[in-house]
Amino acid sequence: MTDFLRKIFGKLLNSIAAFFNSLEFSPDLITILGVFGNFLAAWFIANGNLFTGGLLVLVFGLFDAIDGSMARLQGGETKFGAFLDSVLDRYSELAIFFGILIYSLRGSNPVNCLLVFLATAGSVLVSYIRARAQSLGIDTKIGILTRVERYLVIVPSLLVGRPDVGLWIIAILGNITALQRIWHVKQQLKQ
């Protein structure tokens, strides 16, 4: 899905990235602004303003695509920049889930609290498995619910005020994706 969206929106992202580059912003700065934006989104979500939180997640989720485009336009990603981007992506995602958890606790919704845990576990494991596989020399980008798809699920569910729907989807499909990646790594290591 990521490659598909990059083909469709690549020119727009490159235009935005070129604008930020012309202002002499660094890709790392955009990455950091993105994570702060997602913490702000989490605050709105935790306080029951799901629509505003969803809009902020959408806007600052785009920063993740822009920082990569900026780096490519500048002549390539740095190892530290790629590392920082991966780590801060996890912080952003965890912040959003934390905002939903607080919102669910305030609404005395124990099912949503459990779903937040399951969705968070699946999301973190998908990313961890990829990183661990890369340390073994295996690239595993496979799976039905990678990071982009998780954002494409959570944003609309927040915008329509139904985070539970997004949580169900991510809790189930995120963990299935983790299992798909485990299986893929096992098959690659057999060869």
Question: Could you report the per-residue pLDDT of 76-95, keeping only the tens digit for each?
Answer: 778 898 899 889 999 999 99
> What mean pLDDT is predicted for residues 179-188?
95
**pTM greater than the 0.85 cutoff:** yes
Domain ranges in the chain?
2-190
Q: What is the pLDDT of residue 8?
A: 65
What's the mean pLDDT when you consider all of the chain?
Answer: 91
What percent of the chain stands above pLDDT 70? 95
187 contact partners, CB below 8 Å, separation of at least 6 = none
- Ramachandran category for residue 75: left, alpha or beta (phi over 0 → left; psi -120 to 50 → alpha): left
State the pLDDT confidence band at 184, using cuts at 50, 70 and 90.
very high
> Higher confidence at residue 121 or residue 16?
121
Instruction: Look up the CATH number of domain 2-190.
Output: 1.20.120.1760
Q: What is the pLDDT of residue 18?
A: 85
State the pLDDT confidence band at 9, using cuts at 50, 70 and 90.
low
Three-state DSSP at 76 gives coil
Compute the CA torsion angle 140, 183, 145, 135 (nearest 10 deg): -30
